[in-house]
Every structure is written in C-alpha cells, then in structure tokens.
Amino acid sequence: MRHVIYPGTFDPITNGHLDIIERATTLFDLVTIGVTTNPAKNPLFSVAERVTIIGDVTHHFSNVRVEGFSGLLVDYAQRLGACAIIRGLRAISDFEYEFQMALVNRKISDGIVTVFLMPHEKYTYLNSTIVKEVAMFGGDVSRFVPPTVEAQLKKKIAERQ
C-alpha cells in the first residue's frame, strides 16, 4: 500500500491545501494529514481544533485521515510506514525552502521521498496567514476556505475580541 504524509500547520486549512489533498488521493492509497504544533508560527487554532476542522472538510475522501504530530517528520513518516511526503509548491518563492527541507529529510532518512504537487493556478497566491488577516479585519474569506472553516474563523476571532 502506498501511504503518504501531507504535513503542515494548516492554521487554518485553505482551498489551496484541499487542492493538494485531492491530487494526492489520486496518486496514493492512503493520505495522512499530519498537523504540526509549530509554536513558532503562533497558531490561531489548537492542534486538536485543526484536526477536527480538517476531518470535517475532508470526510468525503475515503482514503484521507488526519492526526496531530510533533517531532521529526521523517521519524513520524517511518512510524507510519509512509513511503513519501507531500509538499505543495505555489511559486518560485516556496522552492528554496522546500528544496532545502527535502534534501535535509533525505540526508536524515534515505528511504523517504518528497513529492511536490502544484495546485491550480487560482490558489497560488493563497496561504493561511493571508486568510487570517482578511478574516481578522472582517473581510470575506468565502472564496479561500470551505464554509466550515469560515464559520470557525469567525467564532475564534469573536472569542479573541
């Protein structure tokens, strides 16, 4: 069975992430979305909240599962018996960092392959930070995220004010 991990912060998951997940489901038998703690990014949602939201917006995929993880990505991949890591490439600006990460992961563990997928062009400008900024200023994010995410963003922002 070809099992792949799609790791990330997903704070929150966007239509760009979902585009990548959908592509991955056609290439692999099982896709595990690994939600990282990443305190450096000062996330708006807790890992548990992100896992719940992602589970909600991916339940129509029969071969997708989601969970939180911490520690080294390659260790996590080995624990799960995954053969590859998926990363999304939006633009040239993503390339340098992603290339470095992929090479470091390959140095640590030779057996794990990083696969880069490109989203539809309409999502290349999209990231979670932009979505949060627009939402915090009361802007409409309905084109960027599924309705569940939009509702959770509104709720979380209202709680914080």
Helix (H, G, I), strand (E, B) or coil at 30: strand
Tokens of residue 101, six digits: 């990460």
- Is 90 an annotated catalytic residue? yes
Beta bridge partners of 34: 7, 67
Contact positions with ligand ADP (CB under 6 A) in 68-97: 87-88, 90, 94
How many binding residues for ligand ADP (CB under 6 A)? Answer: 17
Side chain identity at residue 60, one-letter code: H
For the question of residue 120 being annotated catalytic, the response is: no
Complete edge-to-edge strand list for the sheet that includes strand 30-36:
64-69, 30-36, 3-8, 84-88, 113-117
32 binds ligand ADP (CB under 6 A): no
Q: Which stretch binds ligand ADP (CB under 6 A): 6-14, 25-33, 46-54, 60-68?
A: 6-14
Active site residue 93: no
Q: Which amino acid is at 61?
A: F
| Site map (CB under 6 A) of ligand ADP, residues 132-161, x = contact | ------------------------------
Tell me, what amino acid is at 119?
P
Q: CB under 6 A: which stretch of 24-32, 55-63, 74-82, 118-126 binds ligand ADP? A: 118-126
Q: Quick one: 96 or 158, whose CB is closer to ligand ADP?
A: 96
**Could you tell me which of 137, 136, 156, 135 has the C-alpha nearest to residue 145?**
135
Residues with catalytic function: 17, 41, 90, 128
